C-alpha cells in the first residue's frame, strides 16, 4: 500500500474549526460565478462553509453503538465540528456524516477483485490489501469512483485508524494516511494543487498561496546559499500545494541528488531562456534509457511538436552521439572549458577542483534556475559528478549568494599505481597492461607507439563503449590515453589477452624514441597460468632493462635498479603486485587516474600487435588459428614497425 503520511500530525485539540474554516473560505474565493457546481454548492458558497452542523453527542453515541467501536480521536473530533464535508480534494465530492458511515463488508467486491491477482508468492502487504475491504469502515463517500475507508486494525499509539483511499483509474495500490487528520490535510493540498493548475480559473490568491509563494522564493535563496536540504523541504511543501515554480526548482535539486523519477523541470526545458541548460539534461537521460521511444521524450519536455524538430531534435541527437558540450557564459564558463580539457585527458580530480573553485562565480540563466544542472548532460563532465560530488555542488554557495571561497574537494583517485592491484573489490581481479611515455603529449601517443591504421584518436568513450575486443585482430591493444603526471602520458588496456613471454615485444621500445618509456603487464593466476608481473623500461629506442615474474619464476635482463629489483619486490616467491606497482610509481613519479579509467570517458586508439613476428624457422599459433611464419606476408608487424 502506498504510504502518503506516516504520522498523524494531530494533537489533542486538532484545530479542526480553524483549518476547515480556512479551507472553506479559500474554496469560496476560488469559485467562478459562471461555472456550475454540484447540489449544495450554492448553499456552501453563501455560507462560505463546506461543512454541515456539528454531530450531536447523541448521534456520535448512536454511531459508536451501531459500529460496536469507539471512533478514532481525529475523526470523532471532526464530526464534533461538522457532520460531513463537501469537496474533500478534487475527486471526493462528499464525506458522509454519522448516518452514512458503515462497515464496508466488501460491498463493492474489491476484496474479491484484489484476491484474484494473488498467487503463491503474494506478499503480506498484498494479502492485506485484499483483506482490507472486508473489515474497513466506509466513510459514506460520493466521489469520482474513489473509495475512502478506515482500517480498525491499523491503529497507532494515539488510537488513530489509518485511512485508505483507492480508485481504479489510479492504477496503483491503496494509498495510506496515518489518520483521518492526515487524510484531510492531503485533500486540502489536493484542492490547492488542482485549483492552481486550472488555467481558466480566476486568480487563485489567498493568505495560504501568498505564504507558500514567499516560501518558494526563500527556498531558492536557501539553495543558492548551499542549504539545499532546507530548500528541498520548503519546495516539497509548496509543490504539494501546486505552487508555480516549486516543481521546476525542486526538480533541479532532485536531479542533482540522483532522483530523476517524474522530474521534468515542469515545462521549463521548453522555455527559450532555460532550454539550453535543461533540454540537454532530459535528452541525455532519455538517450540512456529509451533509445527509440521519442514520444515519451516529447511528453516529458512539453511544448514540442508532433515530430521532433529544432532544439529538441538537436539535443536528442547530441545525446545519442555524445557530442553535447556544456558551455555556460562568464567566469564559470571559462572554468567549464578548462575542466573539459582536464577530464578529456584523465585528470578528473583536477577537473572537479576547477569546477568547484569557480562555482561561486556561476550565475543562473533566470530566476527559476538554482544550479548548473547542464553539467550532467556533458559526456565529459557528467562522470565527474558522483553522488557525493553532487551534494558537494549543492552545498556550495553560488549565483550571487556566495560569501567566500568554495570548500576543498576530496579526490577520488589515489596517487600512484598500487590501486591497480585491488581495483575489483567486489569480484575477481582482472589483467591489465599499460605504457607510460615521458615527454610526449597524450594526443601524440598513437604516432609514437605505432597505431594500427589511422593515428587519430577516437572521441572520448567509457571503457565499456570503447571495448571492441571481439573485432580486434590478435593482440592489438585498445588503449585509453591520458596524462600520468608531470611530463608523462599513459596508454592503458583494461582487457588484454594472455601474456606469451617468448613472443612478447615490449611497446616501450618504440614509444621511447624521444625519452623514457615504461611498459607494465600484470595478470592474476587463472586457468592454470601463474600470476604475472612484467616490467620493461626503454630509453631513446633501446630497452634498458626488463623483468618478468610468473609465479616463482623470474626472468630479467639489463641493469635493473635496486628499487625495481624483482628479487626484492617478490622476495622468496611472496607475491606483492601492489609493492611492485608502488615502486614503479615512485621511481618515475607517475600515477594513473582510477576514476577516469573506470568511470570517465577517455580518447582511445588501437596499437599494433604486442606480439613480435616469428623469427627464422619459428611457427606459432595466433587467435585466428593460422600458422604464421617469417615468410608469411600476413605476419603481424612488430610494435612500431
Summarised one tens digit per residue, pLDDT across range 142-180 is 999 999 999 999 999 999 999 999 999 988 889 999 999
The domain ranges of the chain are: 2-196, 205-411, 418-608
Q: What is the mean pLDDT of residues 472-490?
A: 86
The total of other beta-carbon atoms located within 10 Å of residue 513's CB is 16
Summarised one tens digit per residue, pLDDT across range 199-233 is 544 578 999 999 999 999 999 999 999 999 999 99
Higher pLDDT, 453 or 19: 19
Summarised one tens digit per residue, pLDDT across range 420-432 is 998 554 445 689 9
What percentage of the chain has pLDDT greater than the value 90? Answer: 66
Burial class (CB in 10 A: 0-12, 13-18, 19+), 437: buried
**2-196: which CATH topology?**
SMI1/KNR4-like (3.40.1580)
Asked if residues 296 and 286 have their Cβ atoms less than 8 Å apart, the reply is yes
Higher pLDDT, 453 or 341: 341
190 pLDDT exceeds 50?
yes
Q: In which band, very low, low, confident or very high, does the pLDDT at 1 lie, cut at 50, 70 and 90?
A: low
Q: In which band, very low, low, confident or very high, does the pLDDT at 98 lie, cut at 50, 70 and 90?
A: very high
Summarised one tens digit per residue, pLDDT across range 266-305 is 999 989 999 999 999 999 998 887 666 777 777 778 767 6
Alpha carbon 186 to chain centroid distance? 29
Q: Which residue has the cell 587467435?
A: 623
How much is the pLDDT for 517? Answer: 97
How much is the pLDDT for 608? Answer: 82
Rg (CA), the chain: 34
How much is the pLDDT for 638? Answer: 35
Summarised one tens digit per residue, pLDDT across range 546-566 is 999 998 899 999 999 999 999
How much is the pLDDT for 573? Answer: 65
Q: What are the DSSP E strand ranges found in 350-462? A: 432-438
The total of other beta-carbon atoms located within 10 Å of residue 631's CB is 8
> Considering only CA atoms, which of 445, 246, 278, 306 is closest in space to residue 374?
278
Higher pLDDT, 603 or 203: 603
521 pLDDT exceeds 50?
yes
How much is the pLDDT for 628? Answer: 36
Q: In which band, very low, low, confident or very high, does the pLDDT at 406 lie, cut at 50, 70 and 90?
A: low
Query: Strand, helix or coil at 11?
Result: coil
Amino acid at each position: 500500500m502506498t504510504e502518503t503520511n506516516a504520522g498523524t500530525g494531530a494533537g489533542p485539540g486538532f484545530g479542526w474549526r480553524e483549518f476547515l474554516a480556512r479551507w472553506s473560505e479559500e474554496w469560496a474565493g476560488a469559485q467562478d460565478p459562471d461555472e456550475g457546481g454540484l447540489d449544495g454548492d450554492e448553499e456552501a458558497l453563501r455560507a462560505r462553509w463546506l461543512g454541515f452542523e456539528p454531530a450531536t453527542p447523541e448521534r456520535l453515541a448512536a454511531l459508536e453503538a451501531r459500529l460496536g467501536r469507539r471512533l478514532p480521536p481525529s475523526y470523532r473530533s471532526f464530526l464534533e465540528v461538522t457532520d460531513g464535508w463537501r469537496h474533500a480534494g478534487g475527486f471526493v465530492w462528499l464525506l458522509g456524516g454519522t448516518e452514512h458511515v458503515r462497515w464496508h463488508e466488501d460491498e463493492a467486491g474489491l476484496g474479491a477483485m484484489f484476491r484474484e491477482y494473488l498467487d503463491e508468492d503474494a506478499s503480506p502487504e498484498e494479502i492485506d490489501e485484499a483483506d482490507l475491504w472486508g473489515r474497513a469502515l466506509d466513510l459514506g463517500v460520493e466521489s469520482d469512483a474513489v473509495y475512502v475507508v478506515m482500517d480498525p486494525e491499523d491503529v497507532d499509539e494515539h488510537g488513530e485508524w489509518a485511512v485508505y483511499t483507492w480508485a481504479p483509474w489510479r492504477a496503483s495500490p491503496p494509498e495510506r494516511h496515518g489518520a483521518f487528520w492526515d487524510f484531510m490535510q492531503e485533500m486540502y493540498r489536493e484542492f490547492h494543487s488542482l485549483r492552481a493548475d486550472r488555467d481558466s480559473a480566476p486568480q487563485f490568491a489567498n493568505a495560504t498561496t501568498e505564504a507558500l509563494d514567499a516560501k518558494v522564493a526563500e527556498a531558492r535563496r536557501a539553495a543558492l546559499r548551499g542549504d539545499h536540504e532546507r530548500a528541498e523541504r520548503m519546495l516539497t511543501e509548496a509543490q504539494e500545494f501546486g505552487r508555480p515554480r516549486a516543481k521546476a526548482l525542486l526538480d533541479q535539486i532532485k536531479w542533482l541528488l540522483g532522483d530523476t523519477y517524474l522530474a521534468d523541470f515542469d515545462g521549463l526545458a521548453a522555455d527559450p531562456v532555460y532550454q539550453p541548460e535543461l533540454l540537454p539534461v532530459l535528452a541525455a537521460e532519455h538517450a540512456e534509457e529509451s533509445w527509440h521511444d521519442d514520444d515519451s521524450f516529447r511528453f516529458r519536455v512539453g511544448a514540442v511538436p508532433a515530430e521532433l524538430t529544432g532544439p529538441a531534435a538537436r539535443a536528442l541527437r547530441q545525446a545519442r552521439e555524445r557530442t553535447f558540450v556544456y558551455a555556460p557564459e562568464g567566469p564559470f564558463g571559462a572554468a567549464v572549458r578548462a575542466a573539459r580539457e582536464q577530464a578529456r585527458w584523465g585528470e578528473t580530480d583536477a577537473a572537479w577542483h576547477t569546477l568547484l573553485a569557480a562555482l561561486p562565480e556561476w550565475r543562473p540563466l533566470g530566476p527559476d534556475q538554482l544550479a548548473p544542472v547542464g553539467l550532467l548532460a556533458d559526456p565529459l563532465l557528467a562522470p565527474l559528478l558522483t553522488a557525493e560530488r553532487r551534494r558537494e555542488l549543492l552545498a556550495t554557495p553560488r549565483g550571487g549568494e556566495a560569501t567566500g571561497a568554495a570548500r576543498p574537494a576530496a579526490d577520488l583517485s589515489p596517487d600512484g599505481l598500487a590501486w591497480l592491484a585491488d581495483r575489483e573489490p567486489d569480484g575477481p581481479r582482472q589483467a591489465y597492461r599499460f605504457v607510460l611515455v615521458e615527454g610526449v603529449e597524450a594526443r601524440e601517443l598513437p604516432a609514437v607507439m605505432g597505431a594500427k591504421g589511422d593515428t587519430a584518436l577516437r572521441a572520448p568513450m567509457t571503457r565499456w563503449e570503447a571495448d571492441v575486443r571481439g573485432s580486434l585482430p590478435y593482440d592489438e591493444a585498445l588503449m585509453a590515453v591520458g596524462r600520468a603526471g608531470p611530463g608523462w602520458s599513459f596508454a592503458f588496456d583494461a582487457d588484454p589477452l594472455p601474456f606469451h613471454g617468448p613472443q612478447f615485444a615490449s611497446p616501450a621500445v618504440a614509444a621511447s624514441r624521444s625519452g623514457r618509456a615504461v611498459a607494465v603487464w600484470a595478470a592474476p593466476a587463472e586457468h592454470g597460468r601463474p600470476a604475472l608481473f612484467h616490467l620493461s623500461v626503454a630509453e631513446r629506442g633501446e630497452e634498458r632493462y626488463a623483468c618478468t615474474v610468473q609465479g616463482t619464476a623470474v626472468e630479467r635482463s639489463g641493469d635493473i635498479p635496486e628499487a625495481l629489483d624483482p628479487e626484492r619486490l617478490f622476495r622468496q616467491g611472496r607475491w606483492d603486485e601492489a609493492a611492485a606497482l608502488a615502486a614503479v610509481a615512485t621511481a618515475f613519479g607517475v600515477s594513473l587516474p582510477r576514476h577516469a579509467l573506470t568511470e570517465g570517458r577517455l580518447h582511445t586508439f588501437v596499437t599494433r600487435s604486442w606480439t613480435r613476428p616469428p623469427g627464422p624457422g619459428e611457427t606459432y599459433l595466433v587467435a585466428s588459428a593460422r600458422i604464421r611464419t617469417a615468410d608469411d606476408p600476413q605476419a603481424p608487424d612488430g610494435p612500431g614497425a
